[in-house]
Amino acid sequence: QAKAAGRHTFRFYSEAQTRQADARLALEAALRRGLEKEEFLLYYQPQVDLRTASLEGVEALVRWSLPGGELVPPARFIPLAEETGLILPLGEWVLRQACRQMQQWVARGLPIRRVAVNLSSRQFRQADLLQRINAILAETGLAPRYLELEITESLLMDNSAQVDAKLEALEAMGIRLAIDDFGTGYSSLSYLKRFPLHTLKLDRSFIRDIADDPVSSNIVASIIELGQHLDMDILAEGVETDQQRGILLQNGCRTCQGYLFSHPLPAEELEARWLRAAAGHEARP
Ligand code: C2E
Ligand code: MG
Ligand code: MG
Ligand code: MG
């Protein structure tokens, strides 16, 4: 009996696994098609200077726009794109598109200082990463100081001479480096000292509880202070309430990103809400 149940269980899982594998294959094929047909687009989320309430920069966030009109969030396709390697062409498209858009804003004299782009570890590990980034900057005409690359803590843990060399080279090119989701990985404070990082993005999970939980707010206050000592910009992610904003401001955090200020927006909407109003007399291209 146990054996029969075991067999059934086995068959059940096996079928479920087959279905799952089929779904993955279908998603992978759809991703490839989507890349060919350029079904991806970028949304831009404002990063706001708390003291002046003005726009500091934006983070480019990819969306997949299916032919039926559905907008798929990155959580549903980035992991598979990373596994299959499709993140390489996708990430390159994202970088080119973000640089192109930013250069257009810069050329029109709009008040925006930088665009932040997420770089996956797999992209980072490409041997010709620097040449690729250089080529995109040359092609789009964007000056490197307008670009910030967001990397994760796990990438820094690689602990290889190659990671050091690449980060140094990016910094030497004049590109800014941000550490994303700070505090969620196995961070080591030595990384902050060792690598040329400009911005530390405090993960949303800390911000979520700062108004209610003294431990969280103490951690956040300590990280902000640490960042100040290390001469890094601290950016708080996922700021949703005015209370959180107040606590962050009180603790010396300068820049925030979150739904309180704006959701990620299509380029035209970002222009209408954040760039035109502040620009005054905008030079027409
Ligand atoms: P991330 O880089 O940490 O981006 C921030 C995410 O938090 C975005 O989700 C953003 O919409 C969301 N968010 C911003 N403010 C708030 C808030 O106040 N409350 C809440 N609950 N969420 C907020 P999104 O756009 O769904 O992106 C999710 C993740 O997907 C990103 O996390 C990033 O890791 C990845 N991703 C997005 N675009 C790209 C890309 O072009 N390349 C790579 N490699 N990864 C990307
Ligand atoms: Mg990010
Ligand atoms: Mg983040
Ligand atoms: Mg995050």
Compute, in angstroms, the gap from residue 181 CA to the centroid of ligand 4.
5
What pLDDT is attached to residue 161? 84
Question: Ligand 1: does its nearest atom lie under 6 Å from the Cβ of 46?
Answer: no
Dihedral-angle region of residue 81 (phi above 0 means left; psi in -120 to 50 means alpha; beta otherwise)? alpha
> Average pLDDT, stretch 165-185?
94
Q: Which of 72, 118, 243 most suits a substitution to test ligand 1, by most atoms within 8 Å of the C-beta? A: 118
Q: What is the pLDDT of residues 45-96, one digit of tens each?
A: 999 999 998 999 999 999 999 989 999 999 999 999 999 999 999 999 999 9
Nearest one of 159, 207, 157, 203 to 184, comparing CA atoms: 203
Q: Which atom of ligand 1 is nearest to the CA of 260?
A: 18
Can you tell me the mean pLDDT for 276-282? 58
ipTM over 0.95: yes
Tell me the percentage of the chain whose pLDDT exceeds 90: 76
Task: Tell me which ligand sits closest to the C-alpha of residue 78.
Answer: 1
Q: What is the mean pLDDT of residues 20-32?
A: 90
Mean pLDDT computed over 210-236: 93
CB atoms within 10 A of CB 282: 14
Four-point Cα dihedral 99, 169, 164, 44, nearest 10: -10
Taking 70 as the threshold, does the pLDDT of residue 191 lie above it? yes
Per-residue confidence (pLDDT) for residue 1, from 0 to 100: 45
- Cα separation of 153 and 136, whole Å? 25
Centre of ligand 4 from the C-alpha of residue 237, in Å: 7
283 has pLDDT over 50: no
Closest alpha carbon to 158 in 167, 169, 148, 170: 167
CA of 119 to the centre of ligand 1 (A): 12
Instruction: Kindly report the pTM of this predicted structure.
Output: 0.92
Nearest ligand, CA of residue 207?
A: 1
Burial call 125-150: b when 16+ CB within 10 Å, e when fewer: eeeebbebbeebbeebebebebbbbb
CB atoms within 10 A of CB 217: 20
